[in-house]
């Protein structure tokens, strides 16, 4: 029953919302340049499918590269932080600085500095996605059961044994919750960076299509592109949640609650 509700209820809400939307647009005779009807957006999605899908591919490629870079960098930096308090103290302020600086403010610089437009966008998206990985993984590596740490010390475990056999498994739940947040941020970062880059970017991602459609007053296409971004975001969340579930379901109490 619970399961059924969890899957069916959101779908019902979605369908009802679309019907109400369609009905309101027809009833109130809303012009298409203000809000297009869902049927119109659907038709555009089908008609412009080749264009939109290749744009989605570009945005996804940037977001996935950024997520991979953020994961590798984030975990690496977290490992360094846990090994040395001095290093953590000296680098943490700059990590926070990177996090609090809006990406729209630094994206133009990065786009000027980096020749390859796609690489520039990946760097921007990585900056957006990096902080949750560092912060969560560091917290995880430090949240070790004090008794287990005593046990490892009693048996004269090396620093390496403590890291691999105790800190890394303890950090997994934190790592995965960081990954869920970072996956969404990588996509947002990719889209925002594309917006900032405009024609200076790869000139082929979803954000670029939204910009172009806006200039051409092609609102149904704007909405269709927006829909694809939303679907991509939800898929990222579902994929990372699934990954977390796969790794943690056996032992971690929170793994089942998505």
Q: Rule CB under 8 A: which residues touch other proteins?
A: 145, 147-148, 150-157, 161, 165-166, 169, 172, 250-253
CA 194 to chain centre: 15
Q: How far is the CB of 177 from other proteins (least distance, A)?
A: 16
Q: How far is the CB of 244 from other proteins (least distance, A)?
A: 13
Which lies closer to other proteins via its Cβ, residue 34 or residue 253? 253
Distance CA 126, CA 185 (A): 9
The CB-of-254 to other proteins minimum distance in angstroms stands at 12
The two three-digit tokens of residue 62, written as one number: 């940037």
Residue nearer to other proteins on the CB measure, 27 or 250: 250
Q: What are the C-alpha distances in Å from 111 to residues 29, 120, 187, 194?
A: 43, 5, 18, 10
Minimal distance in Å, beta carbon 204 to other proteins?
43
Q: Using CA atoms, how far apart are residues 256 and 95, in angstroms rounded to an integer?
A: 32
For other proteins, the closer CB: 195 or 247: 247
Taking the least distance from each CB to other proteins, the nearer of 167 and 221 is 167
For other proteins, which is the closer residue by CB, 40 or 165?
165
Tally the C-alpha atoms within 13 A of residue 105's C-alpha that lie toward its C-beta.
6
- Asked if residues 237 and 184 have their Cβ atoms less than 8 Å apart, the reply is yes
Question: 3-class SS at 155?
Answer: coil
- Contact call for residues 189 and 63 (beta carbons, < 8 A): yes
DSSP, residue by residue, 216-251:
TT-HHHHHHHHHHHHHHHHHHHHHHHHHHHHHHTTT
Gap between the Cα atoms of 254 and 242, Å rounded: 13
The answer to whether 81 touches 88, Cβ cutoff 8 Å, is yes
* DSSP assignment letter at 253: G
Q: Least distance (Å) from other proteins to the CB of residue 75?
A: 18
State the nearest-atom distance from the C-beta of 135 to other proteins, in Å.
22
CB 157 to other proteins: min, Å: 5
Residue closer to other proteins by CB (options 98, 144) is 144
Q: Which is nearer to other proteins, 27 or 156 (CB)?
A: 156
Instruction: Calculate the alpha carbon distances from 83 to 53, 77, 167, 217, 238 in Å.
Output: 44, 10, 11, 55, 33
């Amino acid at each position: 029953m619970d399961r059924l509700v969890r899957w069916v209820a959101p779908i019902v809400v979605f369908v009802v919302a679309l019907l109400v939307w369609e009905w309101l647009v027809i009833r109130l005779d809303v012009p298409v340049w203000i809000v297009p009807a869902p049927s119109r957006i659907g038709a555009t999605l089908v008609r412009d499918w080749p264009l939109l899908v290749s744009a989605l591919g570009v945005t996804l490629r940037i977001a996935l590269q950024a997520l991979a870079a953020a994961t590798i960098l984030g975990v690496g930096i977290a490992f360094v932080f846990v090994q040395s308090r001095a290093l953590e103290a000296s680098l943490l302020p700059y990590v926070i600085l990177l996090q609090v600086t809006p990406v729209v403010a630094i994206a133009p610089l990065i786009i000027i500095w980096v020749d390859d437009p796609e690489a520039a966008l990946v760097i921007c998206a990585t900056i957006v996605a990096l902080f949750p990985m560092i912060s969560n993984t560091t917290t995880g590596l430090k949240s070790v059961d004090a008794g287990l740490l005593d046990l490892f010390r009693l048996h004269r475990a090396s620093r390496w044994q403590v890291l691999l056999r105790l800190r890394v498994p303890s950090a997994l739940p934190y790592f995965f919750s960081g990954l869920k947040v970072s996956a969404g941020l990588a996509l947002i970062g990719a889209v925002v960076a594309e917006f900032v880059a405009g024609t200076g970017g790869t000139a082929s991602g979803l954000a670029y299509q939204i910009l172009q459609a806006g200039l051409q007053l092609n609102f149904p296409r704007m909405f269709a592109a927006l829909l694809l971004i939303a679907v991509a975001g939800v898929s990222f969340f579902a994929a990372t949640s699934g990954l977390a579930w796969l790794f943690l379901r056996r032992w971690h109490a929170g793994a089942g609650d998505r």
